[in-house]
Structure 1
Amino acid sequence: MNTLSTQILDALQEDKRATLVQDWIEEAKARNGGLPRSAAADAGEVVSAMAHALRDGANVDSFNDPKWSALQQVLSDLSRSGAAQGQSVGQTSVFVLAIKKPLLSALQQRNGSDGVQLASAFWALTTLVDSMAQYMATTFQRAREEIITRQQEELLELSTPVVKLWEGVLAVPMIGTLDSNRTQVVMETLLQKIVDTGSELAIIDITGVPTVDTLVAQHLLKTVTAIRLMGADCIISGIRPQIAQTIVHLGIDLQGISTKASLADALSLALQRTGWRITRQAS
């Protein structure tokens, strides 16, 4: 263990740890404002992991040393927790950077007036803490991307519900832009629902789709083909005049696919195909 590691480890000893953590929290508050209730406990975990790594001979000059893995895991957990709680990457990084001041103060007291040794210690410690902050920022960004991706998938599922309109008749009301990802979600959800319910007909309502171009039409045709392969049939409703003109101008072939202007018309056709007859009761 080199001199710097010994000095840092000395500052992290259990009898000095409470004071170090308190100074760290005060510095973090001064920089970051409010802190989560678990800040003191989080700081204690970081300090403990740092001390453990240094006792095992972790390289202070390289945070890629495998012996830092336990500390990296603690920092990763803090980053992911902060991302889930809606904190910013700056708030997360500033928290760990705040440990720099109390540790530097401890090194200064130990080295006294030895300017060369003090400068070397300051530089090495600064590099280590900066590496810790960078690691947290990278992990935070990755966690945020995972959260965003998961939320997008959940929104896709929510925005493409498959509802049972009648015995043997399903409907998918489409709202917004229809892209490849959304088409895949619609197809998987609808096909599974057909299997689960044994439905014979599926209505795809595009009333809420703002525009229909060649790509959207291809997505619809793929969905219809998949439905037919499952032994069911499909009706497309919501064909407004503007969309009808666009389909004609683009030369899109919807031959063999039943289309209706409204969901009500599509449901009426579906009921006829499935053998239902609806009559109005005389008053």
Structure 2
Amino acid sequence: MKNEAIKVFQKRKKNIQETWMKLQLSDESLREDLMTNEDLRRQSDELLTAFVEALDDNNIDDPRSSNFDPVVDILSAISISRAKQGYTPRETGFYVFSLKDALLHILQQDIKDPQELYTQSLKIIKLIDSFGVTTFETFIKGREEVILRQTDEITEISTPVIKVWDGIVALPIIGTLDSARTQVVMESLLQQIVESSSSIAILDISGVPAVDSLVAQHLLKTVSATRLMGAECIISGIRPEIAQTVVHLGIDLSGIITKASLASALKTAFSILHLQVIKK
């Protein structure tokens, strides 16, 4: 004999949909700027249809059943999409848990036996709560993807390699240098050296807030990599406090040309290339 809750859901699917939509539309945090009501209804109908079709007597109390794979796939896609669109975890969670409220509401209307209602309600609560956990897990995954992409974009923007003259490139470094960022800096710089056939690279650290032994090691690695490509490296932006720190830490920069300003470094680069800039 078919489970009582399943019979109710199959018979009252349209009513469940309408109740669910009313709950969502009445929520104060509804984001009509991110999704139209029509799109929300279409999305909700797709999920509800997959859920009702997947339900049977064997899996109504087993959220791990393979029959629910289409439901999980739809939920995962919705969660990742909402994470990328800018929805909050609460808004995404409410989408799933309002479905639970709609299902329980219809059960209360159609199942009159208190014990049967209690039994079936527990099964639905367990099922939807499990889907809620899946929703949060995939939402976090989607948000992490957004953060990683934004981090990569910010890193690329903050490490621009500029061709300032024929044979001279400059890389203004803004922010702290760590291992990951040093790798990006080196890749960008070396690639530009090859593409522009430059023989001098200027590393400007005016935007680096502080230099410690670790930052200095990263700079030395970048200088060494640049020299292996056949280019000379000049470090500019050596402020008085950075110079004192370098001396205090015993960091040896004696084999590297260092300048206080980018203008001074560019003047030195011109001298190395036997160029002369004359004011007309």
For normalisation by structure 2, the TM-score amounts to 0.92
1:186-201 map, 5 Å: 186-201=185-200
Supply the distance in 2 between the matched residues of 1:58 and 1:171 (Cα, whole angstroms). Answer: 67
* Match for residue 34 of structure 1 among 12, 30, 37: 30
Instruction: Give the counterpart letter for 2:208 in structure 1.
Output: V
Residue 34 of structure 1: CA displacement? 1.9
The answer to whether the Cα contact below 8 Å between 2:8 and 2:110 also exists between their aligned partners in 1 is no
Q: Deviations over 1:67-126 (max 9, x none)?
A: 2111111111111121112111011011111112221233234322x2221111000001
Name 2:44's counterpart in structure 1: 43
* Deviation for aligned residue 1:63: 2.0
**Unaligned ranges ≥5, structure 1:** none
Task: Compute the TM-score of the two structures, normalised by the length of structure 1.
Answer: 0.91
1:202 maps to a residue whose letter is A
The residue aligned with 2:21 is 25
Report percent identity of matched pairs: 44
Shift of 1:12: 3.9
Where does the alignment leave 5 or more consecutive residues of structure 2 unmatched? none
Amino acid aligned to 1:188: E
Aligned equivalent of 2:9, options 5, 8, 11: 11
Map residues 13-162 of structure 1 onto 2, 5 A cutoff: 16-35=12-31, 36-37=35-36, 38-54=39-55, 59-112=59-112, 114-162=113-161
Describe the SS at the equivalent of 1:99.
helix
Matches of 2:10 and 2:225 in 1, distance apart? 63
Name the counterpart of 1:273.
272
Give the deviation of 1:52 after TM superposition: 3.0
Deviation of the 1:176 alpha carbon: 1.6
| Deviation of 1:190 (Å) | 0.9
Aligned partner letter, 2:92: T
CA distance in 2: counterparts of 1:141 and 1:58, whole angstroms: 31
Is the CA contact (8 Å cut-off) linking 1:9 and 1:54 kept in structure 2?
Answer: no
User: How many residues are treated as equivalent by the alignment?
Assistant: 275
Q: 2: CA distance between counterparts of 1:248 and 1:102?
A: 70
Residue 30 of structure 2 contacts residue 91 of structure 2 at CA under 8 Å; is this kept in 1? no
The CA distance in 1 between the partners of 2:7 and 2:213, in whole Å, is 66
Aligned pair 1:235/2:231, yes or no?
no
Instruction: Look up the match of 1:170.
Output: 169
Which amino acid is 1:131 matched to?
S
Q: Which amino acid aligns with 1:22?
A: E
Report the counterpart of residue 257 of structure 1 in structure 2. 256
Is the 1:212–1:246 contact (alpha carbons within 8 Å) kept by the matching residues of 2? yes
